[in-house]
Chain A
Amino acid sequence: MLADDILQMVLFLAVLLLLVKPMGWYMARVYEGKPCGLDRVLGPLERLIYRVGGVKGDIEMSWQRYALAMLAFSFIGFLSLYALMRMQGWLGLNPEHMPAVPPDLSFNTAVSFITNTNWQAYGGEATMAYMTQILGLAVQNFLSAATGMAVLVALIRGFARRQTSTIGNFWVDLTRSVLYILLPLSLTVAVVLVSQGVVQSFRPYEKVALVKPVKDAAGTVVAEQTIPLGPAASQIAIKHLGTNGGGFFNANSAHPLENPTPLSNFLEMLAILLIPTSLCYTFGKMVGDTRQGWVVLAAMGIIFLSLLTVCYWAEHSGTPQLAYAGADQHQSEGQSGGNMEGKEVRFGIANSTLFATLTTGTSCGAVNSMHDSYTPLGGLVPMWSIQLGEVIFGGVGSGLYGMLIFAILAVFIAGLMVGRTPEYLGKKIEIFEMKMASLAVLIPVLLVLIGTAVAVVTQAGQAGAFNGGPHGFSEILYAYSSTSNNNGSAFAGINANSSFYNLTTAIAMLAGRFLLKLPVLAIAGALAAKKLIPKSPGTLNTDGPMFVILLISVVLVVGALSFIPALALGPIVEHLMMIGR
């Protein structure tokens, strides 16, 4: 059975790796404005969008103009999504007559979806009208993902170009990301998901008679159940492809109408990693040396496999408490074994831990199991994966630009250690770039730690956690890790729908997204203006195994130094308490 689990994981990673090169090559063609095949069909639509929007696609922008365009676009997205939720009770496509979403929850949700976080302090089937789901949330799934991809492409151009003051046109990068990459892929994935039984309907919720009526806590006989419906498949496709993660239904990908079969689960996991991994090849292609892209992908892959191994081992091992109670935790043909609390029987340990590790490393945040129910060490993995900065493989665009920031740090540290010139891809790394890189690394760390500290010392913060002690601390730490790093998954043991959490997590999401993007764009602008330095004996090679090790070390050391003290108060002490009983 262990072999079955490993085989499933190997098969998944093999299919993913096979897709990296063709997908990465395609995206490089899209961003370089070269013929990509789909331009013959969608080219007229692209030109129409520019004409209607008054966009002059051939005029490029400085990094400041690029950043201001991105901010203005996101601000308009925030206002329109907020307004849509507040007015949904008066609009159409609302067969369940959902009332307006309360102001603080609307604020939190609008921020969450424009920042690609998709943190959900609501249950979709109990809160959102179909109109809000399709015109608000689904649209922002596309646009926030495309914004991240645009910023990454701007940074890549910074590396690839020499002595220029421009890094591309934000509107063109945004449009091309949606039109040529996200829309065609989403359409394809949505159709396959529908074939697997994912619901796509505008009909009102169905009431069905229970096979066997049950009594509720008050002793009343319950004879029927409400089955929520809605246009889910179209949203679930982009939820994964755009590493957004916001579930159509409250249980997210653990819901049988959102993720019904092993094939849909496989496809959803593949959709999460497809673009982030392929963008590494796109990066290599656009800077003119694909080995650079493979090196970054290798570093991400090694960290990912290490974390997956720990998570799988921890969940597969189960808990001593269950063993003392006489529970059979062994894997057999009849059961998954290990710790199955909070996991779907149809997915088992392997597909739950694989999903948990990849969704938290990629800023997706969709879940097919409840991370709160993981063993302490099993739960530590998704939490630390988020805290490492969402760079293992990261969100679409945001993951790779995060990793490139670490690469800049790595060459600088290596330069200090061995006296070599700090340069990356032929660009000299100087004081300004290092200041910006430091900001980009420190901002999410500060947001997580300060947010958690405020929550654990205030009554409003403590009131949200369902558990006390180290587990309650973990729930709060996870909430601010998830929102500050724009992941969006929850530990599922916290009531985040309070004014305190709605406002503080929203601020964490805004700052974690945009205050990180600005230094990244500043680096892009600074690098684009530099001349290319020819390789010399003093140049650190960044296309070999040594740099992979260096890059991994920097990511892990920064992550460990920043978060081990906080983790020691949560999952680590909880683990020690568990084995000590």
Chain B
Amino acid sequence: MLIEFVREAYMDTICIGIGTLFFAAASGLTWALGRLQGGVL
């Protein structure tokens, strides 16, 4: 029971982590494309 709980908590962290990382990266990409448009990059 405890092992299952820990396993699920671990998987929850991984899944939410991947989602969070993706959206953070997409926000960063938005900034980068803005710089590219402005001729800075």
A496 within 8 A of B: no
The chain B residue sitting closest to A511, CB to CB, is B22
CB distance from A317 to the nearest CB of B (A): 44
Fill in one digit per residue for A106-150: 1 if any B CB lies within 8 Å of its CB, else 0.
Answer: 110011000000000000000000000000000000000000000
A71 to B23, CA, bound (A): 7
Q: Interface size (A, Cβ < 8 Å)?
A: 34
> Does A538 reach chain B (CB closer than 8 Å)?
no
Given A82-B19, A507-B18, residue A514 in contact with residue B36 (CB < 8 A): no
Q: Does A170 contact B (CB under 8 A)?
A: no
Contact with B along A499-512 (1 / 0, CB 8 A): 00001001100110
Interfacial chain B residues near A488, Cβ < 8 Å: none
Contact A518 B23 (CB under 8 A): no
When distances are taken between beta carbons in the complex, the residues of chain B under 8 Å from A110 are 19
* CA gap between A64 and B26 in the complex, in Å: 11
Within 8 A of A (CB), among B1-41: 8, 11-12, 14-16, 18-20, 22-23, 26-27, 29-31, 33-34, 36-37
In contact, B33 and A107 (Cβ under 8 angstroms): no
Q: Are B30 and A64 in contact (CB under 8 A)?
A: yes
Please, which residue of chain A has its CB at the minimum distance from the CB of B20? A75
Q: How far is the CB of B5 from chain A (nearest CB, A)?
A: 12
A107 pairs with B27, CB closer than 8 A: no
Contact B30 A68 (CB under 8 A): yes
Asked if A68 meets B22 with Cβ closer than 8 Å, knowing A82-B15, A519-B33, the reply is no
Q: Give every chain B residue within 8 A of A202 (Cβ-Cβ).
A: none
Q: Is residue A67 within 8 Å, beta carbon to beta carbon, of the partner chain? A: yes
The docked-state distance in angstroms from the alpha carbon of A522 to that of B11 is 35
Interface bits A417-461 vs B (CB < 8 Å: 1, else 0): 000000000000000100110000000000000000000000000
Specify which of A82, A111, A436, A507 is in contact with B33 (CB 8 Å cutoff): A436
Is the pair A432, B27 in contact by a Cβ cutoff of 8 Å? no
How distant is A430 from chain B, measured CB to nearest CB, in Å? 11
Contact between chains at A71 and B16 (CB < 8 Å): no
- In the complex, the number of residue pairs spanning A and B with C-beta atoms less than 8 Å apart equals 67
User: Would A68 and B27 count as touching, CB distance under 8 A?
Assistant: yes
A103 touches B30 (CB 8 A): no
Q: Using Cβ atoms and an 8 Å threshold, which residues of chain B touch A102? A: 8, 11
Within 8 A of B (CB), among A54-90: 63-64, 67-68, 71-72, 74-75, 78-79, 82, 86
- Asked if A526 is at the interface (CB within 8 A of a chain B CB), the reply is yes
Q: Which residues of B sit under 8 angstroms from A79, Cβ to Cβ?
A: 16, 19
Q: Which A residue sits closest to B7, measured CB to CB?
A: A103
Residue in B19, B26, B36 whose beta carbon sits within 8 Å of that of A432 in the complex? B36
Contacts of B14 in A (CB 8 A): 103
Q: Which of A68, A107, A515, A526 contacts B15 (CB 8 A)?
A: A107
From residue A104, how far is it (CB to closest CB) to chain B in Å? Answer: 6
A525 within 8 A of partner (CB): yes
Query: By the criterion CB–CB under 8 Å, are A107 and B19 in contact?
Result: yes
Which B residue sits closest to A439, measured CB to CB?
B33
Q: Which of B12, B18, B37 contacts A522 (CB 8 A)?
A: B37
Q: How near does chain A come to B13, taking the closest CB pair, in angstroms?
A: 9
Residues 517-542 of A contacting B (Cβ, < 8 Å): 518-519, 522, 525-526
Question: Which residues of chain A are within 8 angstroms of B27 by Cβ–Cβ distance?
Answer: 68, 71
Q: Are B29 and A518 in contact (CB under 8 A)?
A: yes
Contact, CB under 8 Å: A525 / B19: no
- Residues on B with C-beta less than 8 A from A525 are 37
Nearest B residue to A64 by beta-carbon distance?
Answer: B34
Chain A residues positioned under 8 Å from B34 (CB to CB): 63-64, 522
Q: With a CB–CB cut-off of 8 A, which chain B residues contact A506? A: 18
Q: Which of B18, B29, B31 contacts A107 (CB 8 A)?
A: B18
Q: Do A103 and B37 form a contact, CB below 8 Å, given A71-B30, A75-B23, A503-B18?
A: no
Would B19 and A75 count as touching, CB distance under 8 A? yes
By beta carbon, the residue of chain B nearest A432 is: B37
Q: Which of A107, A111, A503, A515 has a CB less than 8 Å from the CB of B26?
A: A515
Question: A533 vs B6: C-alpha distance in the bound complex, in angstroms?
Answer: 63
Q: A68-B27, A519-B33 are in contact. Are A510 and B22 (CB under 8 A)?
A: yes
Is A103 in contact with B26, judged by CB distance below 8 angstroms?
Answer: no
- Write out the residue numbers on chain B whose beta carbons fall within 8 Å of the beta carbon of A507: 18, 22
The reply to whether A435 and B30 form a contact with Cβ atoms under 8 Å apart is no
Contact B11 A103 (CB under 8 A): yes
Q: Do the beta carbons of B19 and A111 come within 8 Å of each other? A: yes
Please tell me which one of the listed residues A71, A104, A519 contacts residue B11 in the complex, with CB atoms under 8 A apart: A104
Q: Tell me how far the C-beta of A505 lies from the nearest C-beta in chain B, rounded to whole angstroms.
A: 12
Give CA–CA (A499, B31) in the complex, Å.
32
Looking across the interface, which residue of chain B has its beta carbon closest to that of A510? B22
Q: How far is the CA of A68 from the CA of B23 in the complex (A)?
A: 10
Would A522 and B26 count as touching, CB distance under 8 A? no
Q: Looking at the assembled complex, report how far the CB atom of B16 sits from the nearest CB atom of chain A, in whole angstroms.
A: 7
Instruction: Name the A residues within 8 Å of B37 (CB-CB).
Output: 432, 522, 525-526
What residue of chain A has the Cβ atom nearest to residue B22's Cβ? A510
Closest to A499 in B: B11
With A64-B31, A104-B15, A518-B26 given, can you name 9 additional A-B contacts, CB distance below 8 Å?
A: A63-B34, A72-B23, A79-B16, A102-B8, A106-B15, A111-B19, A510-B19, A518-B29, A526-B37
Of the A-B pairs whose beta carbons lie under 8 Å apart in the complex, a sample of 9, sorted by A's number, is A64-B30, A64-B31, A64-B34, A71-B27, A111-B19, A506-B18, A507-B18, A518-B26, A518-B29
Pairs of residues from A and B, 9 with the lowest C-beta to C-beta distance, nearest first: A103-B11, A107-B15, A75-B23, A67-B30, A522-B33, A64-B34, A514-B26, A510-B22, A103-B12
Interface set of B (CB-CB < 8 Å, partner A): 8, 11-12, 14-16, 18-20, 22-23, 26-27, 29-31, 33-34, 36-37
